[in-house]
């Protein structure tokens, strides 16, 4: 459902505007929460990093949503460190083949990992 919502926002607004559209950012944050509840830590981290990047750009680093996302990322790092001792923490989610080149370049320039939905 979150994937469909994000795709709908991208189609309706375009790739440039979707990153500043708050309902899309809330969806990304909620997607991170969903991954967190299903123990998909790499995906959780990627969604929270993407949300934090955009919240910081749109609302500023001291906004409620930026602080909340930072707190969740920090909690995730603490849990990951405790449970993944000896594992490679630089594991990247799979790159999406169906994304447009323009979107891949835009996301990569912002340091946002490309995810397989």
Could you tell me the pLDDT band of residue 16, with boundaries at 50, 70 and 90?
confident
Looking at the predicted structure, is the pLDDT value of residue 29 above 90?
Answer: yes
Q: Model-level pTM greater than 0.85?
A: no
By CB neighbour count within 10 A (0-12 exposed, 13-18 middle, 19+ buried), where does 15 fall? middle
- How many CA atoms, within 13 angstroms, populate the side-chain half-sphere of residue 58? 20
- Give the C-alpha separation, 91 to 53, whole Å: 20
Instruction: Map out the domains of the chain as residue ranges.
Output: 1-84
Backbone φ, ψ for residue 116 (5° rounding) = -95, 115
Mean pLDDT of 64-93: 69
Classify the phi-psi angles of 60: left when phi > 0, otherwise alpha if psi is within -120 to 50, otherwise beta. left
pLDDT of residue 14: 87
CB-based contacts of 97: which residues, under 8 Å, 6+ apart? none
């Amino acid at each position: 459902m979150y994937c469909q919502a994000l795709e709908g926002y991208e189609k309706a607004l375009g790739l440039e505007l979707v990153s500043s559209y708050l309902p899309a950012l809330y969806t990304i944050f909620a997607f991170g929460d969903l991954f967190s509840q299903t123990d998909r830590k790499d995906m959780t981290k990627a969604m929270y990093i993407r949300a934090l990047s955009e919240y910081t750009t749109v609302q500023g680093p001291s906004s409620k949503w930026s602080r909340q996302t930072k707190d969740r990322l920090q909690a995730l790092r603490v849990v990951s460190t405790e449970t993944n001792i000896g594992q490679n923490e630089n594991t990247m989610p799979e790159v999406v083949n169906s994304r447009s080149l323009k979107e891949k370049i835009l996301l990569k320039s912002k340091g946002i990992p490309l995810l397989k939905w």
